Amino acid sequence: MANKQRDPRLEAYWRNVLAKFRDSGLSVRAFCRREKVTEPAFYAWRRVIRERDAQRGDVRASRKRQPVPPAFVPLAVCDARPGGEGNIIVELRGERTLRLPLATSAERLAELVVALEAAVSEGRH
């Protein structure tokens, strides 16, 4: 990256890689393995492109992307016990499972899923 001469093809390649990463739902490590790119190059190019976008005044591109709320599938209640006992079990990406009391509100459940999925997408797992 020390080379000050910009290669538009190389920048376009990395912009495409970063767009694929944002849409992948994978951690940085898993994505880099799948795409056969090194993590140091990924992080360096992500920083360079953010800086270039900020210099151009492209606020939308330089701003961190807000996580997209996950889509929910219909809930099926099985073997509900009288008195509200039981758990809500949510299967997340990466074979992760979230178990919560049945009394958990839909809003709280959504907050937790969004936070957990955002952490994984950003590589903070």
Res 116 pLDDT > 70: yes
CA 123 to CA 74: how far, in whole Å?
A: 28
**pLDDT value at residue 39:** 94
Q: What is the mean pLDDT of residues 111-124?
A: 73
Adjacent-strand bridge partners of 90: 98
Over residues 19-44, the pLDDT tens digits come to 999 888 889 999 999 999 999 999 99
**CA 70 to CA 49: how far, in whole Å?**
27
Give backbone dihedrals phi and psi of 32, rounded to 5 degrees, phi first.
Answer: -65, -40
For the purposes of burial, counting CB atoms within 10 Å of the CB of 30, is it exposed (0-12), middle (13-18) or buried (19 or more)?
A: middle
How far from 95 is each of 36, 90, 98, 121, CA to CA, in Å?
Answer: 23, 10, 10, 14
Supply 80's token pair.
């509900």
C-alpha R_g of the chain: 20
User: Residue 63: pLDDT above 60?
Assistant: no
Spatial separation of the C-alpha atoms in residues 39 and 29, rounded to whole Å: 7
The overall pTM is greater than 0.85: no
